[in-house]
Amino acid sequence: MLRTAGASGNAATRTAGGVRTRGWLERLILSEYLVFYLTTAYFLAVWPIVPEIATASSLSNMLTDMLPLLVVAIGQTFVLIVAGIDLSVTSIIAFASVVGASVMTADGGYLGGSPLAVPAGILTFLLIGGLIGWFNGFCCTRLGMPPIIVTLTGLMFLSGTAIWYTTGHSETSSIAGLPKAFVLIGQGSAYGVPNALWVALAVGISAHLLLGHTVFGRWLYAIGINRKAAEISGVPVGTAILWTFVISGVCAAIASILFTGRLETGTPVLGQRILLDIIAAVVIGGTSLAGGKGKIVWTVGGVLFLVVIDTSLKLLGMSLFVVFAVKGGVILFAAIIDAMRQRIIMRG
Amino acid sequence: MSGTAGRRLALVVLQNAPLIAFVVVLVIFASLSDRFLTLGNFTNIVTQSSHIAIMAIGITFVLLTAGIDLSVGAVMYVGVAILALYLGDLPVVVSFPLVALIGLALGAVNGFFVVQMRGLHPFIITLAMLFILRGAALWMTDTRMVFVAEPIMSLGRTSYLGVPWAIWMFAAVFALAWIVLRETPFGRQVYAVGQDPVAAGKAGINVPLVLFAVYCICGLCAALGGLVSIAQVAAASSTFGFQKEFPVIAAAVLGGTSLFGGRGGVIGTVFGAILIQTVENGLVMTNANLHHRW
Amino acid sequence: KAQEGKTVALLFDSLVSPFWVSGIEIMRAEAAERGWETLEAISDFDDNRQFEQVRAMIEREVDGILIIQTDANAVIPAIRAANEAGIPMVHFNRPPAESDAYSVAIQADNRKIMQDTVQFLVDEAKAMGGTYKACILIGDLGDVNAIQRRDGFFDIVDQHPDLIEVVARVSTEWNADKAFAGLTNALQANPDINFLVTSSDFLHPQIEQALKIAGKWHPRGEEGHVLFGGFDGDEGAYQRLIDGYLDACGVQNLFLEVDMAFGAFEDLWAGKQVDKLLLDPGFVITAANLEEVRDQMWGYIVWQQQQ
Amino acid sequence: MAAEILRLDGLSKSFFGVEVLHAVSFALHRGEILGLVGENGSGKSTTMNILGGIHQADAGSITLDGRPYRPTGPRDAQEAGLAFIHQELNLFENLSIEENIFISGFPRRLGRLPLIDRGRIGQRTRELLDMVDVRYPPATPVGKLSQGERQLVEIAKALSQDARIILLDEPTTSLTRRETEKLFTIMERLRAQGIALIYISHILGDVLRVCDTIQVLRDGHLVGGGPRDEMPIDTLISLMVGRKIENLFPPRDTEPTTVPALEVEGITQSGVVRDVSFTLHEGEVLGVAGLMGAGRSELARILFGLDPFEAGRIAVGDTTLTEVSPEACMRHGMAFLTEDRRGEGLMMEATIADNTALPSLRAYARSLTGWIARSRLEDDVAEVSRRVQINTTDYRGMLVKNLSGGNQQKVVIGKWLLRQPKVFILDEPTRGIDVGAKFEVYKIVNQLVAEGTAVLFISSEMEELIGMCDRILVMSHGEITGIHERHEFDSERILETAMLKNLADVA
Ligand SMILES: Nc1ncnc2c1ncn2[C@@H]1O[C@H](COP(=O)(O)OP(=O)(O)OP(=O)(O)O)[C@@H](O)[C@H]1O
Ligand SMILES: Nc1ncnc2c1ncn2[C@@H]1O[C@H](COP(=O)(O)OP(=O)(O)OP(=O)(O)O)[C@@H](O)[C@H]1O
Ligand SMILES: [Mg+2]
Ligand SMILES: [Mg+2]
């Protein structure tokens, strides 16, 4: 693990060599797990107002609600660490959803009814995510285009294409009739644990290990901090960045599998509205948009934070504008906390 | 090793990508529709791109300082909502400057937080503003569609010297921005701050003030863009300005303004905005609609 | 079981057009009259979020869920969840796709209403003579209603290839901006458009502005009048009907639909069997039958309040 | 003695609870050049930064013209008549020379309009550029200039402010001898006008030549000072390092072999280098001399695969490189220390350990999974860091940005040492490093060649090249204009070769 990641949190206390002791508030604000404390505090605050939030089924709903979001956010974390950004993830979710569904659907799918339908369908999802990610990465590294432009164009193009593709495969606006076995990935459970959770755990743990314990992970942080220095130090910068986009694409595709499964439908507008949520979650967690800083655990915290707030607002039956304003307020609040944190560090 | 010529060519192509894309798009659509290359249609394209272009000019200032403003679409909506709901009875010469001021003030809020919370990316601050302002506008309008009065709508149809009002606005904002960026101390300091804020501070530039000012300008331009847009489309539903930040940023970046600050300018931005609109226009002109009936 | 003191969830996907705003207001009033409480949530066109909202409402143990989903297929898991929890679910204005899950849908007979509207315009056109260049503003194809209205339009115009040529299909995605730009461009490409149909009345301001810019905004009887058909029946449509700019409007009977929806809840609570699809026949309003039918037009009521 | 203009009284400053300046006091007079010397990290730049308003002192006071002076920002300093040339270049590559010079206060058109008076700044810039001998139109973007030319622009910028006090923090690091002389002439002229200057440099000979008074810092304490005549060089050195240094260059007792380690043949890239050929042998230090802009850095970048080339052949050992990229070069045992430490050499926001480990990660990873053997890596990093004598032992915690320039340079050297390179290209390896640290770097170079490493040593300091190299290759305008063997080293003749092409052009 690159130390820089935690450095913002620890540098001050460390250089002080334990000479200075900080107040509990300062320590709390400096903690790199602040977002978890905030989530807990918020949860405890709304509990008396909507007691339903603490019921077992509500908690399990919250858990399953956050999983697909978490998986995309994990992919995004990789891209942000190298100072990139991937705005195409939601369109990958949508596009993979309809293409994958068109392979599996019982009403006229390419492999509809065949026992191969599900494995081939899943493979389609992953391939689409990987290929689009690869294409994004290719444009950003080999052609030197800015990631925001590449992926923004991808977003617009793929969203359109997803709708166009659907009209070619379905009378309605979406593709239904998905095999039971596939739907179970998004809905079912094994050993009392939702399948989606198994999937998210697998993705999360591999991502965590990849970032923290491998050469590839260290390269990514190095590229994020100083790309030129990384290049001169023999880091295959282009290839590494390309892979972050592939990872992001594949994560989006996995999220798409979960979303598509839970809605039992391949739809071309899937996930369209969650783009900013994804990026906000990662950044609230503490990953820097400027690159070089980020952790999977932080992202988990960021997603959890957003989902808890979202759920509470849903349970409160809040109107749309309240939801918007509260979300904005919360993000601003997170920003203020982060700024305070910087101040304290600077003060030394 | 050979291929330098090729590499040079590639470089030239990349540096002039917006222009080349522009020409390619023109040629494609011109060959598909004989009405595409008419003066009338071109006026049409520029008119329709003017609100995006005005907002993109504003955001160019912010991008030049290596910042970003995601709240432009929301500022646009808030301004128009206030115009339609509370300022509808005032004459245009009063209500429009008021809305512009509101935009400036909202930009100032962005700027305030950006300056106060240095070390935190403006992305997150303006994202928060995006949510808060959209929420506020939805609350004001009760999510209903709002309408503007006939004088404003007729403004949207007015032409001076055969050139639509929107294009005049666009041209004025562009000319002013161009002069400010190139020929004023402030403009050059914007570039300096974007290139290296630490060095700018050491050179005695008031970095916080420059940052604050660019967000004010961006807010102002967003409100102006809203006015130009509403004068044309006459009514604003709850999706007014929704996700406008994407084409607006895209226009600036397509025009060669770097997201990492210090590079670019408003001329490119204008091209970027028009290019985006040209594609949309061309698609309709050639009836090559994604939603074509199958 | 007493019908008083029930709680019903109203799950909308948006309130972008006056139709939905009026819809939710009529529902609130109707519910208050029946002594029900309402909980509201808007999904902002996000199927997944709406699914989560349904689960949250189940969590809140509401007595009934009225839903306006964005996607007919993606709503099925939500229906299943409601079925499992034993909570009746009614779809307002947009039916779900076919499935084994049980719910009741109230819907306007879009295709038929659109067919009637366009048929009226075609008859007018025939009567006036000449040939026609037509333009249609199509809604978001994620919306069944938009598809049915589009199909209704083509059902009729395709029967008259000699009379009408469709030169422009403007995709609006239910977005005013897009509609305006698209229509302006279409008028630029085809200045001779003289037959216009919109899939929803909420786009009227943009249509008016675009036609004015093109110099084509003239009431019936004047030279250069564009045959103009609308759909939904909002207050703007009523105004333009009496002003003579709009020739015909397919009206969804919103009052009837709300009544049908709430009636369905009561029947379901009472354990009665209710059909999966209940149709609102709607009607076409024109200058000719204005006086007789306007009382059933929800836009007229709103219009009256505004006067 | 002339009137006192500036007085520092008991200045102290801490970063993160560590005190780096302890009660520093000294005075500056009108028409005086004060030399400030000290090892890396001794607090010279920090003192200047306090004067320039970049940092605020924790304790102590400053008096300017008898009045208390407490700048809270660079603006305050400018307004008080202080100009500051920073140790790190402080220019904006995206702006032109004239804009850079006037960025903090443009003359305006017609006095009131907020429009830049282009005519005036152009005129004034031309005058200033003439003074420092830079021949570029004022509207040239600074990005086009080489490091040395940028430094001259930085000096012109300080001159433009008509300051009463000018602070120069290592202004000559990228300058050639001739330009340095030019700078000294300018400084002397300023002194004659009654302007006071503070001059920081690691080149003690220069300090002794131009300064009237010299103050010595060690670990944040002012350990001595006085008029130049009372401060001979050995006194200075022993004050700075706290001990005596006998020799500037450590003796080397190994001889170069004749086994080729790097063979370069006909490397050409139009506009940059032309037909460059040479052979570097195992155990040899091959120096590269040349005037600023001669293309030495460009050549190094080409050899390491950072820049493209049109024609030529590069062979390491006995394999000709088919692909020339940093990765491929490193696979063949090459290493490259760039001249731009901050921009390309280091990850400033990362720790010493992370920086040091970066080029070697692969060697510490399982090939299939890429899983890093962390403890082995950390041990080796610590060992290398000790070997280059970085002045902290918190390798895993200390961020590189918080190190002094010299220690940062040691980190860059350390990161390449960890790879045990066979061919090591050093571009200005001692730029901005104090005498003691330089000596350490030289010792490391000697150790390396003793182990058989071949070193390509690019430097603008002639003494250093003569003291360290076995042969010196001279470049001018992208071409090799001569090779000098050790026995015929002579700075006059080398300089002549370096200007060969220029003379030919004139003729
Ligand atoms: N911004 C900062 N944050 C933390 N520590 C700092 C900072 N600036 C300087 N230091 C520390 O203060 C000490 C003095 O540094 P300074 O830059 O003044 O040294 P210097 O004498 O200029 O050295 P050099 O000759 O290498 O430039 C060093 O130990 C350095 O690590
Ligand atoms: N970024 C750049 N853009 C354009 N020209 C450049 C750039 N950098 C350097 N040059 C030019 O390339 C030539 C070679 O410069 P280079 O830096 O290789 O010289 P050098 O011999 O290493 O001198 P030094 O490192 O001492 O400045 C010079 O004429 C210089 O002006
Ligand atoms: Mg220094
Ligand atoms: Mg060089």
Q: Is residue D499 scored above 80 in pLDDT?
A: no
- How sure is the predictor about B238, in pLDDT bands with cuts at 50, 70 and 90? confident
Last residue of a domain, one of D362, D396, D420: D420
Q: Flag whether D273 is in a domain.
A: yes
Q: Flag whether D338 is in a domain.
A: no
CA of D290 to the centre of ligand 2 (A): 12
Give the number of whichever ligand sits closest to the CA of residue D409.
1
Contact A263 C77 (CB under 8 A): yes
Beginning with the edge strand found earlier in the chain, give each strand of the sheet holding C64-67 in spatial order: C37-42, C7-12, C64-67, C89-92, C104-108, C277-280
Contact D75 B196 (CB under 8 A): no
Residue D91 and residue D159 in one domain = yes
The stretch A276-295 carries a mean pLDDT of 84
Out of D146, D291, D476, give the residue to mutate to test ligand 2, the one with the largest number of ligand atoms within 8 Å of its CB: D146
Helix axes B207-233, B185-195, angle to 10 degrees: 110
Q: Flag whether D158 is in a domain.
A: yes
Which residues on B lie below 8 Å from D311 (Cβ)? 1
In angstroms, the CA C280 to CA D505 distance is: 94
- How sure is the predictor about D314, in pLDDT bands with cuts at 50, 70 and 90? very high
Which tokens in the block code for residue D345? Answer: 């050499």
Residue D84 and residue D225 in one domain = yes
pLDDT at position C1 is: 42
Beginning with the edge strand found earlier in the chain, give each strand of the sheet holding D273-281 in spatial order: D273-281, D260-269, D311-316, D319-320
* Index of the ligand 2 atom closest to the CA of residue D458: 22
Q: Which residue has the higher pLDDT, D241 or B167?
A: B167
pLDDT at position D240 is: 79
Instruction: Quick: pLDDT tens for A24-37.
Output: 777 777 777 888 88
Q: Is residue D172 scored above 90 in pLDDT?
A: no
* Region of poorest pLDDT, from B193-202, B274-283, D347-356: B274-283
- The neighbours of chain B, by the rule of 3 or more Cβ pairs under 8 Å, are A, C, D
Q: Is residue B174 scored above 90 in pLDDT?
A: yes
User: What CATH number has the domain bearing residue D153?
Assistant: 3.40.50.300
pLDDT at position B289 is: 43
In angstroms, the CA A261 to CA A270 distance is: 12
Contact A269 C77 (CB under 8 A): no
pLDDT at position A8 is: 38
Q: Is residue D18 scored above 80 in pLDDT?
A: no
Place of tokens 């009665």: C272
Residues forming a β-bridge with D423: D334, D454
Residue D134 and residue D227 in one domain = yes
What percentage of chain D has pLDDT greater than the value 90? 44
Q: Which residue has the higher pLDDT, A272 or C138?
A: C138
pLDDT at position A337 is: 73
Q: Is residue B194 scored above 90 in pLDDT?
A: yes
Of D18, D326, D369, the CB nearest to A232: D326
What percentage of chain A has pLDDT greater than the value 70? 90
Most confidently modeled range among A230-234, C4-8, C142-146, D385-389: A230-234
* A139 contacts A245 by C-beta, under 8 angstroms: no
Which residues on A lie below 8 Å from C8 (Cβ)? none
CA of D46 to the centre of ligand 3 (A): 7
* Region of poorest pLDDT, from B59-73, B114-128, B278-292: B278-292
Beginning with the edge strand found earlier in the chain, give each strand of the sheet holding D196-200 in spatial order: D82-85, D165-169, D196-200, D33-38, D213-218, D221-227
What domain count does chain D have? 3
- How sure is the predictor about A159, in pLDDT bands with cuts at 50, 70 and 90? confident
pLDDT at position A13 is: 37
pLDDT at position B157 is: 83
In angstroms, the CA C183 to CA C226 distance is: 14
Please tell me if residue B48 touches chain C, with a CB cutoff of 8 Å. Answer: yes
Q: Is residue B287 scored above 60 in pLDDT?
A: no
Q: Do chains D and A touch (3 or more CB pairs under 8 A)?
A: yes
Instruction: Quick: pLDDT tens for B34-70.
Output: 666 777 778 888 888 999 999 999 999 999 998 899 9
Residue D165 and residue D204 in one domain = yes
State whether residue B220 is helix, strand or coil: helix
Q: Structure pTM?
A: 0.78
Q: Flag whether D262 is in a domain.
A: yes
> In this structure, which residue's CA is closest to atom 8 in ligand 1?
D402
* Chain A closest-CA separation from residue B155 CA (Å): 31
Residue D84 and residue D229 in one domain = yes
Q: Which residue has the higher pLDDT, A319 or D207?
A: D207
| Ligand 1 close to Cβ of residue D436 (< 6 A) | no
- How sure is the predictor about C142, in pLDDT bands with cuts at 50, 70 and 90? low
pLDDT at position B76 is: 95
* Region of poorest pLDDT, from A4-13, C139-148, C258-267: A4-13
Q: Residue D446 sits in which domain range?
A: 247-333+421-507
The stretch B6-26 carries a mean pLDDT of 70
The stretch C78-90 carries a mean pLDDT of 93
pLDDT at position C173 is: 78
| Ligand 1 close to Cβ of residue D44 (< 6 A) | yes
- The two beta strands, D334-337 and C248-251, are unpaired
Per DSSP, helices labelled H in chain B are 4-15, 17-32, 39-64, 72-86, 92-116, 122-141, 150-157, 165-183, 185-195, 197-202, 207-233, 245-254, 266-285
Instruction: Quick: pLDDT tens for A107-142.
Output: 777 887 788 889 999 999 999 999 999 999 999 998
Residue D198 and residue D179 in one domain = yes
Place of tokens 């830049």: D116
pLDDT at position D504 is: 44
- Max distance between CA atoms of chain C, in angstroms, equals 63
pLDDT at position A6 is: 37
Domain boundaries, chain B: 46-276
Last residue of a domain, one of D214, D241, D268: D241
- How sure is the predictor about B291, in pLDDT bands with cuts at 50, 70 and 90? very low
Last residue of a domain, one of D193, D220, D241: D241
Nearest of B40, B52, B37, B95 to residue B251 by alpha carbon: B52
Which tokens in the block code for residue D198? Answer: 């503070």
| Ligand 1 close to Cβ of residue D15 (< 6 A) | yes
Residue D362 and residue D505 in one domain = no
Residue D192 and residue D237 in one domain = yes
- The two beta strands, D319-320 and D334-337, are unpaired
Which residues on C lie below 8 Å from A269 (Cβ)? 45, 47, 70-71, 142
CA of D42 to the centre of ligand 3 (A): 8
Whole-number average pLDDT of chain D: 87
Domain boundaries, chain A: 33-347
DSSP string, D103-117: TTS--BTTTTSSSB-
Q: Which fold has domain A33-347?
A: ABC transporter involved in vitamin B12 uptake, BtuC (1.10.3470)
- How sure is the predictor about C41, in pLDDT bands with cuts at 50, 70 and 90? confident
Give the number of whichever ligand sits closest to the CA of residue D289.
2
pLDDT at position B5 is: 65
pLDDT at position D299 is: 94
pLDDT at position A272 is: 78
Q: Which residue has the higher pLDDT, A333 or D10?
A: D10
